[in-house]
Amino acid sequence: MANGRKLQLYLISRRSRFRAGTRYFRRGIDHDGHVANFNETEQIATVASQADPNKAATTLSFVQIRGSVPVFWAEINTLRYRPDLQIMDLQDSVIIPIQNYFALD
């Protein structure tokens, strides 16, 4: 209840099936434009109308997305506190995956 009105909260989250893996062992982008560990979370709040408590007067939504940085890179993981970072030298083949990343819906 918020100010005597019914409040409903929803949390919806989905994770991409492409390039899934643990945080330290899956990084970067692939040639199809999919980034590692991409996920999307939506928070929805509905507040009931004062006139009809069974009807939503206001619906609010906030969407947050996250994923790995869309470049070709890897982390040489030795499970130390500061792992070594490796940026791959793929100069000519970088443009198409990045264009694919920004074209994904």
Exposed, middle or buried: residue 21 (CB in 10 Å: 0-12, 13-18, 19+)? Answer: exposed
Radius of gyration of the chain from its Cα atoms, rounded to whole angstroms: 21
Domain ranges for the chain, please list them: 7-103
Mean pLDDT in residue range 21-39: 82
Q: State yes or no: pLDDT of 3 exceeds 90.
A: no
pLDDT digit string (tens) for 47-102? 888 777 777 788 999 999 998 888 887 776 666 667 666 666 666 666 777 777 78
